[in-house]
Structure 1
């Protein structure tokens, strides 16, 4: 007597196995299980570029809809790396669309306030401070590259403060740094980031 082997559940399969089975059978539940594994990372990427958080959440869902089609047509060897690039490029396309929509869509601005006055205040409350950087696609790419080149402590503190809108105390709790080191990383990271961006801008001229 022959018994039909029970198909493995998505949780039992690796990323690569899920991709192969999805390409072969087109079962969206397999893709959903795969995407769910990486959804926190995708959301973090979207939050780097899209505000408010509702826009980033919408992007996460829209990306999944694109993957339903794309991953049936294309083979992917390193899914996490491919997904990171795909999410980043999708966000950049959304920003391009906003720019084409005209001034009514609002400026794309990343704020770099003076870090000495915000020990207990989230960066989101400091939008009137000077020293703003308007983000075009090129500057977004330069920003991502410059952040990646920073020392780990500086990069982490900058991302938490400026991109995730954490206050000093929240950053200290999340990283384990004391408040003095958080302030130092922010000040040094901000200076190094601006220097790197200015160097990239000069090289492009």
Structure 2
């Protein structure tokens, strides 16, 4: 019966399905609508997250938020609206991952010249600086060698151990450690050359 119930909605336009969903708030209707563009959403997510499983998870997370977003907003052209929503959700999720990465990346540094107890007087840094650091980080990752980029992402973003990285990539343990260390150094140099000082990148974590 559920199949027969939903089958009659398959040929409805996006606008008609949206109207039906707003009236009935039936998730089956929203599922029909979302399914039409799921492949496009997946492709967009894959562009941002690279890993297939992460992209699939993001597709489901977007769907879970879809009902509330539709009820809260006036949607006139679903396809373009969904694209913007999916892009924003990907960026927010990626930004959150990169924030965690930045925190662990800089606090894991071998540089002992920083006095952590002296951070307090810099916690008024503007949120704009946080965004600039994250955008610069994303660009910096792209200039690393493929080996460094892979190991940095796996270690900091995916929380993989050295051993797990060895097993996933086939690299020797010594190579993995070297790629991570050299990648960190190269990324720090890149960010500092582009006007973002090491000290500010560490300090902004106190205001997030």
TM-score by length of 1: 0.50
Higher relative contact order (CA 8 A, sep 6+): 2
* Higher-helix-fraction structure: 2
Pick the structure with greater CA Rg: 2
TM-score by length of 2: 0.49
